[in-house]
């Protein structure tokens, strides 16, 4: 993997009227010397996070700490997930300049009531971007996910998703300390990975996916997310805002994440790696194809 590798993406064309985006690149890894328990000095790689200050129509909005794998889509997804824009067509262009650590967003007609929309602050649980502007929380009742008959996942498909993630080349494998997030399209006979991105926080990763979906007009109804991060309330909320009914995590869940997903009718899978998983909620979207191992163990044990 090149040190400035772009996220793995299925080739698509941007929507007509989509914003113009730069393709700013930066080093994703840094080499440092460490001292280990054997008294040896050796070199390892760590992820190279950096600040990116977002200006909307020349007004400073926020500073995001990011790995920088795809900053334009991160900013686009951030604006979208924070409901600061209604459509990606509201944005004329996003220009990222790493020399100054700035993302200049230009909109066609300005953002209505930017001050009001960003006034309420909720500091959230998650790894990564922790601020969810208050308005987003209150708009959740507008979310409708596809019903369980049409948007569901088989155990075999889930296994294959996990196998795809296991084999995926990643910054995490080289440097640790990043979260990955992938978007899968569910198909009758399995699934296809459409996009995979890593960032220092899992919120950045999911926002970048939102940016990618928005740019290409990709809808969430027949999709599943994979994330390495915990399933907290704001992760579930973002998934729901993006219309994705199924979320899979290598990690666990919190009570609010669980409650929110249950209320929204979303399926949550956690502790998912290799052939193991826990379906926390939304089992009505899941076609269980039970593993035989435990039965075999029982026979031996019994």
Q: Are 93 and 21 in contact (CB under 8 A)?
A: yes
| H-helix segments, 85-221 | 114-117, 134-138, 155-167, 171-175, 202-216
Place of tokens 């889930």: 158
- The contact mask relative to a second copy for 105-124 (x = CB under 8 A, - = no) is -------------x--xxxx
For 152-190, letters b (16+ CB in 10 Å) and e give bbbbebbbbbbebbeebebbeebbeebbbbbbbebeeee
- What does the chain come to in residues? 302
Under DSSP, the state recorded for 85 is: -
Closer residue to a second copy in complex, CB, 207/222: 207
Smallest separation, CB 226 to a second copy (Å): 16
Q: Which residues contact 189 (CB under 8 A, 6 or more apart)?
A: none
User: Which token pair is 16?
Assistant: 């007509």
Which of 10, 12, 50, 160 touches a second copy (CB under 8 A)?
50
Does residue 241 bind a second copy (CB under 8 A)?
A: no
Q: Which residue lies nearer to a second copy by CB, 105 or 194? A: 105
Smallest separation, CB 101 to a second copy (Å) = 12
Best CA proximity match to 252, nearest among 125, 74, 82? 125
Parallel, antiparallel, or unpaired for β 179-187 and 190-199? antiparallel
Q: Residue 198 pairs with which residues in a beta bridge?
A: 180
Q: Which is nearer to a second copy, 15 or 65 (CB)?
A: 65
Among residues 141, 188, 294, 299, which is the contact residue for a second copy, using CB under 8 A? 294
Listing DSSP states for 149-170 in one string gives TTS-EEHHHHHHHHHHHHH---
- Bridge partners of 62, per DSSP, are 54
**Residue in 6, 34, 113, 169 binding a second copy, rule: CB under 8 A:** 34
Residue selected from 11, 13, 40, 301 as contacting a second copy according to rule CB under 8 A: 40
CB 128 within 8 A of CB 66: no
Q: Which lies closer to a second copy via its Cβ, residue 151 or residue 194?
A: 151
**Which residues 121-180 are close enough to bind a second copy by CB under 8 A?**
121-131, 155, 175-177
Among 17, 20, 51, 97, binds a second copy (CB under 8 A): 51
Among 23, 35, 43, 301, which residue sits at the site for a second copy (rule: CB under 8 A)?
35
CB of 258 to a second copy, least distance (A): 6
b (16+ CB within 10 A) / e for 234-273: bbbbbbbbbbbbbbbbbbebbebbbebbeebbbbbbbebe
258 binds a second copy (CB under 8 A): yes
* 58 is a site residue for a second copy (CB under 8 A): no
Q: Which of 45, 278, 103, 81 is nearest to 181 (CA)?
A: 81
Contact flags string 197-236 toward a second copy, x per CB under 8 A: ---xx-x--------------------------x-xx---
Q: Between 74 and 151, whose beta carbon lies closer to a second copy? A: 74
Does the footprint of a second copy cover residue 276 (CB under 8 A)? yes
The binding site for a second copy (CB under 8 A) comprises 30, 32, 34-40, 44, 46-51, 61-65, 118, 121-131, 155, 175-177, 200-201, 203, 230, 232-233, 251-258, 271, 275-281, 283, 286, 288, 290-291, 293-295
């Amino acid at each position: 993997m090149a040190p400035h590798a772009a996220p793995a993406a299925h080739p698509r064309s941007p929507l007509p009227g989509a914003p113009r985006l730069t393709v700013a690149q930066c080093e994703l890894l840094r080499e440092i010397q460490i001292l280990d328990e054997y008294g040896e000095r050796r070199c390892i790689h760590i992820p190279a996070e950096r600040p990116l200050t977002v200006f909307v129509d020349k007004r400073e909005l926020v500073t995001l700490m990011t790995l920088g794998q795809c900053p334009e889509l991160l900013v686009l997804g951030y604006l979208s997930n924070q409901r600061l824009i209604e459509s990606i067509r509201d944005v004329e262009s996003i220009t990222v300049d790493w020399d100054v650590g700035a993302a200049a967003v230009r909109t066609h007609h300005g953002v209505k009531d930017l001050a009001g929309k960003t006034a309420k602050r909720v500091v959230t649980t998650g790894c990564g971007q922790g601020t969810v502007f208050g308005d987003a929380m209150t708009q959740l009742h507008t979310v409708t996910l596809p019903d369980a008959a049409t948007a569901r996942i088989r155990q075999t498909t889930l296994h294959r998703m996990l196998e795809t993630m296991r084999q995926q080349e990643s910054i995490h494998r080289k440097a640790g300390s990043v979260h990955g997030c992938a978007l899968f399209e569910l198909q009758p006979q399995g699934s296809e990975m459409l996009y995979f991105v890593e960032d220092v926080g899992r919120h950045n990763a999911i926002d970048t996916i939102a940016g990618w979906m928005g740019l290409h007009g990709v809808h969430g109804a027949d999709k599943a997310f994979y994330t390495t991060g915990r399933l907290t309330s704001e992760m579930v909320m973002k998934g729901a805002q993006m219309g994705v009914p199924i979320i899979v995590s290598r990690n666990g869940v919190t009570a609010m994440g669980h409650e929110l997903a249950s209320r929204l009718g979303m399926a949550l899978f956690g502790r998912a790696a290799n052939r193991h998983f826990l379906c926390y909620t939304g089992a009505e979207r899941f076609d269980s194809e039970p593993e035989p191992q435990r039965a075999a163990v029982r026979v031996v044990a019994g």
